[in-house]
Amino acid sequence: MYELDCHGVIPGCERVIRAESQAEVMRRAVTQAKQLGVETISQRMMDAFRDGTHETVKH
């Protein structure tokens, strides 16, 4: 499982995005950003998504 705390990465976002793959977290982050009014996803924002995504430990 991977997750991204989008607070501070996507303006106005206060949630944690979780998915089974890093690619799915990225896709959901882009969708979330667009829903919150971000019209253009810059390379800098994509890098922030990638850098902020981490694998969680399964119990």
- Looking at residue 31, its pLDDT comes to 97
Contact 5, 52 (CB under 8 A): yes
- Looking at residue 59, its pLDDT comes to 62
Q: Tell me, what DSSP letter sits at residue 7?
A: T
Q: pLDDT truncated to tens, each residue of the chain (59 aa)?
A: 999 999 989 999 999 999 999 999 999 999 999 999 999 999 999 999 999 999 998 76
SS3 content of the chain, % helix, strand, coil (to 5): 40, 15, 40
Backbone angles phi, psi at 34, to 5 degrees: -65, -40
Give the span between the Cα atoms of 10 and 15, in whole angstroms: 10
